[in-house]
Structure 1
Amino acid sequence: MGADRKGGARPRPGRAVAYAALGAVLLAGCASMPDSGDLRNVESTPRQDTRVRVFAMPPAEGAGPAEIMQGFLEALTSDDPDYDTARKYLSSDAARSWRPERSTTVLAGGPSIEPDCRAGAEPTSTVTCVLAGSRVATVDAQLAYEPAGGAYRKKVHLTRSPKDGQWRIDGLPDGVVMGKSDFQRNYTSVDKYYFASDTAVGSTGQPVAVADPVFVRSKVDPMTQMVRSLIGGPTRWLRPVVRSSFPTGAALQKDASGLAPDDQNRLTVPLNLQASQVAPRKCTEMATQVLFTLRNLAPTLESVELQGAGGHRLCDLSEERAEAVAWRGSAKSPENLYFLDGKHRLVRIPTGSTSTNAVPVPGPLGEGGKALDSVAVSRDEHTAAGVGDQGRSLYVTSLASGGSLGDALVTSQGATPADRLTTPSWDARGDLWVADRDPHRRRLYVMAQGVAKPQDVAVPDLSGTILDARVAADGVRIALVVKKGDKRSLLIGRVQRDDGTGQGTSVVELRSAAPDLEQVSALSWAGDSRLLVVGREQGGVLQMRYVQVDGSTLDGPAPGALTGVKSIAASEDERVPLVAYSEDDGIVRLPSGAQWQKVDKDGSAPVYPG
């Protein structure tokens, strides 16, 4: 993810935070309140250099209601840690009761002020105005982002003090509101990490790390914000399927602020815990959560020390040990790229190789005569699942010489290949997922360890047909391309495992991960909380972009344009080149800092393990 990673990395958009404060800048560009006419925008601040700290000005002596409203909205987009300047535009009672941390509402073009503010019973002393706009998203008190639509209208009441004659806001909603460009300047998306509740991998039973993306104010002590958010627990959507090793009541010490690594790239985190409250293994897991989370903000961070009450050391942890404590998709580099050759056999090329010479995999999928339509390779690269017979049959077999293909594990009765099985997908548990698109028997299946009897997965919120299904490495989230009418949308669902109650496995609380794309045609997981998607907006052209699982758009470069894209392959490890199948060029790959390169003109269906 950072400069310390080895070569071959592709840049991750929108993740790093710069800490240098180059100066204080007065916000500009806000329109004054007109006396009459239609709504006028209080324009979003133009995009600033992300290293610049932005501060607003307090209200001027004798400022009228229009200036107070304008100045307050500007102050909401500043870098004041506690919105101290914004509170100066409020009456003393309103300043005490206003809770800006409750939410952030993001509007398409900044809030507008209705020009004809309605006067109260005493026009010279009270005014009621309305803020209006078109909602894009909200960030809640847990810092969780959610796309939103519809109109935004909130009343703001102003009063002129009888003592000094100054206008102040004395009635307003909790939370803050700002335009999209101000939000992108003020906030950054960061993954905090928890552990899947019921998943362990490997011979030592490593817990599986799960990324929970949130948005924090990028220039307002972001590390301390993130540790508080991490200790506070997972966001509501993810909470049912993950756990935290921080005990109930854990918190940063009251005076903790300004958390940052020292010159040895070591971070000390002061907690309110006694040593007797923390078992050694739990402490190590807590430190792992902190280190995984804060490396989003400080890529060179090498170790974390947790301190308890009184400054006593609870435990410390290096980056190397953390990777051994928990399994994390982005830390696991695939050994090979896989795809189907011109004979529809499974072949592979070592991931780090610049060669274009692919060799058949050992076993019946590479050495046998079975023609395949799509394939998925398990994350340990020991097993593969192939869909053949024009989408009718799913086979699972070992990637070892001498193995047999055996009988199909799943068979579809769909009338055409488009009505049959999707590309299969593996999670870290070794479970295999596939969907059947047969209109008469639409199903999502999971097979434990890739060999158990297919189990129906309930999707109670589903409205439409699953065209593609790709499970996340952590096994607690799944990405679905769903067709409803003429629209093909990208949805993320939470995987609820069978907990012994006989309810079975289900995918619940579907939410959009790419709300502005109407025709999603291909996808791949490309990080712990992001995906690479091919699709088009309404009336737009086909494009390839990164999206977050929470539906936010990452601020950064998209992969280079490529015509005729039918499928894509990315790895959670961001150092690995992107690969795609194009009707025009076959298998192509995108090394870091380079253009798309041809690999195999006759190849198709590229995949990395997963």
Structure 2
Amino acid sequence: MTLRRFPQLRRSIAMGRHLVTGAAAVSLLAGCASIPTSGPVRVQPQISATAESDNVVALVRPPEPGATPTSIVSGFIQANADATLDYAVARSYLAPEVADSWSPSAGVRIVDDSNGLDLRRRGSRVTLRVPQEAVLSAEGLYSAVASGTEVVTDFTVRKVDGQWRIDGVRDGLIVSLADIARTYRTADRYFLNASRQYLVPDRSLVPTERRGYLTALVRGVLSGPSSWLAPAVGTAVPRGTRLNVDAVLVSDGTATVDLTAQALAATNNARRLMAAQIVYTATSSGEVNAVRITVTGQPLLLDGLGPVLTRADFASLDSVAALGTAVGYVVKAQSLQRIVGAGIEPVAGSLGSGQVPVGRAEVSWNGRFAAVTLAAQGAGNTVAIGDLTTGTDVLPLRGLDARKSLAWGPDSRLWAVGNNGQLKVWSKSLGAQSVLVRVGGTVTVVIPSFDGARAIVVASGRAYVMRVQSSNGRLTLAAPRLLQSGLGPVRSVAWADAQRVQLLGQPSGESTQVFEVLVGAAAVSSLGGVPRMTRVAAAPSQAILVEAADGVWENAGVGWRLAVKNGTSPGYGGPTGG
């Protein structure tokens, strides 16, 4: 792999410790045209400072006397990375009336300035042209943009007291990808999925500030989800609930969150859900590991729980923790096999014995069911489902075409994409129902998240995160946000946890590789791979599995090894089948 032909990875390395560890950078730089089979590249779990002492502030300076118009524009853009005192340094480059009216909160255009900024002056106008990588919405939601996108924008300048200043500028910020890594951090607020069974992270990127980050996080979870996620989630926080004291106090790693009296309107069960939202949100900051919740100074009483709460108190609401230990599965010789240690064993019943010839297989997250395509001649696109707990009752599912993609959701609904790109979701109670996917291009892969509120969708080779919303019992996937550009065409994807996705991508002129992408952040890293990969599988705290021409390979953190010779259709499911 050559970084010259794949600038996205070069830029990721340049972001430093917030994106990729030092060892990862060495591994990437050592890449060549062949795909590495060892030396996994890792990303850190968040682009964030974990304590106020770790905050990194961009080194920016106010305008120098006699600076030229292009220098003024360049300095203003550099100062966009420093949010201190409401972007005081950036405002110093603006004419007084513009400094008062300019709104940096209108969103961020994230650019690649590794080759400098192309600034050209004509009279009182300075034009900027620079490659664009992504955007942050006004709410801080990260979306990549298509390769080849550019920011082309004009600034107008005039002299103020003999010095050039900007008197015409668009609202919002222009920040480099490297500065995003240095001066922004993730903010995860937690809400409830449609069934109120699991917590759902609502991630944004916000400027790193020395004070108020934790308070802003908690204030945010009380006020509700982002406009993007809102149609897919709910909250247990009663309307009107706010911080009684507009500050979250921290002592010895425990945050005290004091709420207004409106919080008492919640029922006992809703109070537990509200507390879970607050605890997961506050502890996601990395600054605290426990939370004490009070209402107008008095402890919020929760059945069976003490006054100091941790994530362990709400583990049943954590969609990743609720999975337990996932088990790997493969197909070999038309038989569904379970990965056990360094070997494999057939599952119980006709799916494991070979009596039912299995083509591809997906095992549900509760470990009870396996959905398979049949390998028998003339079976066409038939999808069948078998009960792994009894080993019997392999039944065909009517109206389901899974020639492109097949995946289980956390609620034991089966998601299938047919040869025409149409998505259908099957459930035992409703059968197969069509699902509208509001994305441009032909859909080839849909993989729901563990919480069920989001899905990764591959359409025309690009991978998007989309929300899963329901109206009158009908599902719709909406509001696509591009995960990353420059990785496609993407062939296969898998959720590794609530925020990490593994995908098979083939950058232009390169071999297919496994990439790890953080949803809602700028981080991406290459994990290498083996020749001729066609499928990737992942699960929380489990090895990455890939299907290649000679079998199923795995990477548990120490390089790639052939795990099942001549195996196909690797995947993960629950541990109870058998």
Report the TM range for the smaller structure's normalisation.
0.7 to 0.9
Query: Which residue, out of 336, 340, 355, partners 2:327?
Result: 336
**Is 1:115–2:120 an aligned residue pair?**
yes
**Is 1:446–2:425 an aligned residue pair?**
yes
**Is 1:530–2:495 an aligned residue pair?**
no
Q: Is the 8 A contact 2:533 2:546 kept in 1?
A: yes
SS at 1:234's partner residue? coil
TM superposition shift of 1:106: 1.0
Q: Is the 8 A contact 2:399 2:432 kept in 1?
A: no
TM superposition shift of 1:101: 1.8
- Counterpart in the other structure of 2:344: 358
Q: Using the alignment, how far apart are the partners of 1:322 and 1:272 within structure 2?
A: 23
Greater C-alpha radius of gyration: 1
**Is 1:590–2:567 an aligned residue pair?**
no
Q: Using the alignment, how far apart are the partners of 2:417 and 2:282 within structure 1?
A: 37
Q: Using the alignment, how far apart are the partners of 2:250 and 2:385 within structure 1?
A: 47
- Counterpart in the other structure of 1:579: 545
**Is 1:393–2:385 an aligned residue pair?**
no
Q: Using the alignment, how far apart are the partners of 1:189 and 1:393 within structure 2?
A: 44
- Counterpart in the other structure of 1:284: 272
Q: Matches of residues 536-551 of structure 1 in structure 2 within 5 Å?
A: 536-550=506-520
The letter of the residue matching 1:480 is V
Task: Note closer, same or farther for the CA distance 1:356–1:275 as it changes in structure 2 (3 Å cut).
Answer: closer
Tell me, which stretches of 5 or more residues in structure 1 are unaligned?
1-8, 23-49, 120-127, 201-206, 414-419
Q: Is the 8 A contact 1:308 1:314 kept in 2?
A: yes
Q: Matches of residues 454-603 of structure 1 in structure 2 within 5 Å?
A: 454-459=432-437, 461=439, 463-464=441-442, 466-483=443-460, 488-499=461-472, 504-550=474-520, 552-555=521-524, 557-571=525-539, 573=540, 575-584=541-550, 586-592=551-557, 594-603=558-567
The letter of the residue matching 2:370 is A
**Is 1:77–2:81 an aligned residue pair?**
yes
**Is 1:233–2:224 an aligned residue pair?**
yes
TM superposition shift of 1:357: 2.1
TM superposition shift of 1:344: 1.9
Q: Matches of residues 107-256 of structure 1 in structure 2 within 5 Å?
A: 107-109=111-113, 112=117, 114-119=119-124, 128-148=125-145, 150-162=149-161, 165-197=162-194, 199-200=195-196, 207-221=197-211, 222-252=213-243, 255-256=246-247
- Counterpart in the other structure of 2:37: none
SS at 2:536's partner residue? strand
Task: Note closer, same or farther for the CA distance 1:255–1:158 as it changes in structure 2 (3 Å cut).
Answer: farther
TM superposition shift of 1:20: 6.3
Query: Which residue, out of 356, 359, 374, partners 2:360?
Result: 374
**Is 1:321–2:321 an aligned residue pair?**
no
TM superposition shift of 1:446: 1.3
Q: Using the alignment, how far apart are the partners of 1:189 and 1:78 within structure 2?
A: 16
TM superposition shift of 1:408: 0.7
Q: How many residues align?
A: 522
TM superposition shift of 1:142: 0.9
SS at 2:236's partner residue? coil
Query: Which residue, out of 23, 28, 46, partners 1:15?
Result: 46
Q: Using the alignment, how far apart are the partners of 2:120 and 2:400 within structure 1?
A: 62
TM superposition shift of 1:61: 5.0
Q: Is the 8 A contact 2:487 2:505 kept in 1?
A: yes
Q: Tell me the TM-score normalised to structure 1 length.
A: 0.76
Q: Using the alignment, how far apart are the partners of 2:221 and 2:288 within structure 1?
A: 17
Query: Which residue, out of 106, 109, 126, partners 1:105?
Result: 109
The letter of the residue matching 1:608 is Y
Query: 1:257-296: CA deviations, max 9, x gaps?
Result: xx57532x32223445555445444343233223323444
SS at 2:86's partner residue? coil
Q: Is the 8 A contact 1:14 1:189 kept in 2?
A: no
Q: Is the 8 A contact 2:157 2:164 kept in 1?
A: yes
Task: Note closer, same or farther for the CA distance 1:428–1:386 as it changes in structure 2 (3 Å cut).
Answer: same
Name the one with the larger helix percent: 2
SS at 2:231's partner residue? helix
Task: Note closer, same or farther for the CA distance 1:13–1:237 as it changes in structure 2 (3 Å cut).
Answer: same
Larger displacement relative to structure 2 (562-571 or 220-229):
220-229
Q: Matches of residues 296-315 of structure 1 in structure 2 within 5 Å?
A: 296-298=284-286, 301-309=288-296, 311-314=297-300
TM superposition shift of 1:565: 1.5
Q: Is the 8 A contact 1:261 1:268 kept in 2?
A: yes
Task: Note closer, same or farther for the CA distance 1:63–1:561 as it changes in structure 2 (3 Å cut).
Answer: same
Query: 1:139-191: CA deviations, max 9, x gaps?
Result: 112111122354423343444345xx454434422221122222222223444
Task: Note closer, same or farther for the CA distance 1:531–1:267 as it changes in structure 2 (3 Å cut).
Answer: same
Query: 1:539-583: CA deviations, max 9, x gaps?
Result: 332121022445x5425x432432221221101x2x222122222
Q: Is the 8 A contact 2:457 2:463 kept in 1?
A: yes
The letter of the residue matching 1:540 is E
SS at 1:547's partner residue? strand
TM superposition shift of 1:321: 1.3
Q: Matches of residues 407-426 of structure 1 in structure 2 within 5 Å?
A: 407-410=395-398, 421-426=403-408
Q: Using the alignment, how far apart are the partners of 1:521 and 1:55 within structure 2?
A: 41
Q: Using the alignment, how far apart are the partners of 2:534 and 2:275 within structure 1?
A: 42
TM superposition shift of 1:99: 1.9
**Is 1:432–2:414 an aligned residue pair?**
yes
SS at 1:454's partner residue? strand
Q: Is the 8 A contact 2:121 2:127 kept in 1?
A: no
Q: Is the 8 A contact 1:330 1:527 kept in 2?
A: no
Q: Is the 8 A contact 2:145 2:484 kept in 1?
A: no
Q: Is the 8 A contact 1:216 1:225 kept in 2?
A: no
Tell me, which stretches of 5 or more residues in structure 2 are unaligned?
1-39, 302-306
Q: Is the 8 A contact 2:400 2:432 kept in 1?
A: no
TM superposition shift of 1:386: 1.4
Q: Using the alignment, how far apart are the partners of 1:303 and 1:375 within structure 2?
A: 41
Q: Using the alignment, how far apart are the partners of 2:245 and 2:89 within structure 1?
A: 23
Q: Using the alignment, how far apart are the partners of 1:170 and 1:250 within structure 2?
A: 42
- Counterpart in the other structure of 1:417: none
Q: Which has the higher contact order (CA 8 A, sep 6+)?
A: 2
The letter of the residue matching 1:409 is L
- Counterpart in the other structure of 1:4: none
SS at 1:537's partner residue? coil
Q: Using the alignment, how far apart are the partners of 1:377 and 1:229 within structure 2?
A: 37
Query: 1:392-439: CA deviations, max 9, x gaps?
Result: 22111211245232x3113678xxxxxx634421112221111221x5
Q: Using the alignment, how far apart are the partners of 1:544 and 1:561 within structure 2?
A: 6
Identical columns (%): 25
SS at 2:412's partner residue? coil
Task: Note closer, same or farther for the CA distance 1:10–1:62 as it changes in structure 2 (3 Å cut).
Answer: closer
The letter of the residue matching 1:490 is A
SS at 2:534's partner residue? strand
Q: Using the alignment, how far apart are the partners of 2:100 and 2:171 within structure 1?
A: 11
